[in-house]
Amino acid sequence: MKNIAVLTSGGDAPGMNACVRAVVKTCLSKGLTPFGVMDGYQGMIEGRIEKLGYGDVDNIIQRGGTVLGTARSQEFLTAEGRQKAIVHLKEQAIDGLIIVGGDGSFKGATILAEEMEIAIIGIPGTIDNDIAGTDHTIGYDTALNTVVEAVDKIRDTASSHHRVFFIEVMGRNAGFIALNAALASGAEGVLIPEEVTDIPLLVKQIKEQNKGKRSSIIIVAEGDDGGGAKEIMEQVRPFMDGYDLRYSILGHVQRGGNPSAFDRILATRMGGMAVDLLMKGETNLMIGSNGDRLISQTILEGINHSATLDLEKLDLLKDLLTKG
Ligand code: ATP
């Protein structure tokens, strides 16, 4: 193992830079040559693979986004596109590849590794936390804190005006951000893809919760079966005469910002471990966290399974919302 390339792929997530930095610095400290692939698999296809040095990762640990850039590449889905990528990887004699991204990015890497001789290690980087085999993905903790901060701010205005707010947060397939943000912000309700939304029940709960309060906050995961925050608000409106209903979609603000200390540390540890695994001759593995420990499992485990939300937290939230 001599030349290791790192790429960030799929949606950007705060902490990706800390991870890239750790990969580069660990490589350099162990006598390996690190390379960065710009803009994910698209940059690989276009031959944008650059040698990285200390100066390239200086002053990036605290920055959100990814200095390497990221992309969703349609061309990489084709064998022809991947062949172009393989030519460029061979030109630079890359023998190890570290992919920081979601399960789609991992899948792309496994297909690449079937078509050329290259060792691959996946690092889970996505704000959604929806990858199996890890307690936390890089970026999730930061995004969750961003959401909680935003909900706190909306609470201030909701309370001032006696409003019921539906706040839409990210989570196409999973309710990690929504449920945990609801617990952390003291929300009066949460709608997540893992539970079927029952509008009459929701109306009853909002009315019950709203008694004696100046505001209600309902967190809605964007992938909820009942629709987004606006759709949910429109569905309850006919049954909520006299209530001042509003909605807010937090959107891309959830992706950006400086990574939390938690994400920086997780990303740094995972980046260092990925290089160590490659040096030991390992391949087709994905790194994960289990409590405070880092673990590795086959990358296929991460691709073929979905992360499961701890529904005990939902039960707890419901207990907290039940008025005795
Ligand atoms: P996020 O969770 O943020 O969406 P992701 O890694 O799951 O991240 P995807 O858009 O699914 O994001 O995948 C990123 C890229 O990986 C795709 O644009 C594509 O280039 C590559 N990729 C995904 N699936 C495959 C596949 N089956 N074959 C080859 N390449 C793939």
| 128 part of the active site | yes
Residue identifier of the C-alpha nearest atom 18 of ligand 1:
72
Q: Which of 128, 130, 224, 263 is catalytic?
A: 128
Residue identifier of the C-alpha nearest atom 20 of ligand 1:
73
Arithmetic mean of pLDDT, 81-86 = 98
Residue identifier of the C-alpha nearest atom 11 of ligand 1:
104
Residues 282-301: tens digit of each pLDDT: 999 999 999 999 999 999 99
The pLDDT, as a whole number, for residue 238 is: 97
Arithmetic mean of pLDDT, 74-78 = 97
Residues 33-52: tens digit of each pLDDT: 999 999 999 999 999 999 99
Query: In this structure, are residues 138 and 172 in contact, taking their beta carbons and an 8 Å threshold?
Result: no
Q: Three-class SS string for the chain? A: CCEEEEEECCCCCCCHHHHHHHHHHHHHHCCCEEEEECCHHHHHHCCCEEECCHHHHCCCCCCCCCCCCCCCCCHHHCHHHHHHHHHHHHHCCCCEEEEEECHHHHHHHHHHHHHCCCEEEEEEECCCCCECCCCCCECHHHHHHHHHHHHHHHHHHHHHHCEEEEEEECCCCCCHHHHHHHHHHCCCEEECCCCCCCHHHHHHHHHHHHCCCCCEEEEEECCCCCCCHHHHHHHHHHHCCCCEEEEEECHHHHCCCCCCHHHHHHHHHHHHHHHHHHHCCCCCEEEEEECCEEEEEEHHHHHHCECCCCCHHHHHHHHHHCCC
Residues 100-147: tens digit of each pLDDT: 999 999 999 999 999 999 999 999 999 999 999 999 999 999 999 999
Residue identifier of the C-alpha nearest atom 5 of ligand 1:
102
Band of pLDDT at residue 18, cut at 50, 70 and 90: very high
pTM for this model (two decimals) = 0.95
Phi and psi at 317, nearest 5°, equal -60, -40
Cα 10 to middle of ligand 1, angstroms: 6
Residue 248 predicted with pLDDT over 90:
yes
Structurally, at CATH architecture level, domain 3-139+259-304 sits in 3-Layer(aba) Sandwich (3.40)
In the numeric block, which tokens belong to residue 219?
A: 């967190």
Average pLDDT, the chain: 96
CA distance 205 to 74: 44
Band of pLDDT at residue 324, cut at 50, 70 and 90: confident
The pLDDT, as a whole number, for residue 210 is: 87
Q: Which CATH number fits domain 142-255: 3.50.50.60, 3.40.50.460, 3.50.30.60, 3.10.580.10?
A: 3.40.50.460
User: Best mutation site among 107, 123, 303 for ligand 1, i.e. most ligand atoms within 8 A of its Cβ?
Assistant: 107
Residue extent(s) of CATH 3.40.50.450 domains in the chain: 3-139+259-304
Residue extent(s) of CATH 3.40.50.460 domains in the chain: 142-255
- Dihedral sign computed on CA atoms, order 311, 316, 320, 322: positive
CA distance 68 to 127: 17
Q: How many CB atoms lie within 10 A of CB 249?
A: 16
Q: Which atom of ligand 1 is nearest to the CA of 126?
A: 3
Residue 63 predicted with pLDDT over 90:
yes
Q: Which residues contact 156 (CB under 8 A, 6 or more apart)?
A: none
Residues 139-188: tens digit of each pLDDT: 999 999 999 999 999 999 999 999 999 999 999 989 999 999 999 999 99
Cα 222 to middle of ligand 1, angstroms: 20
Cα 101 to middle of ligand 1, angstroms: 8
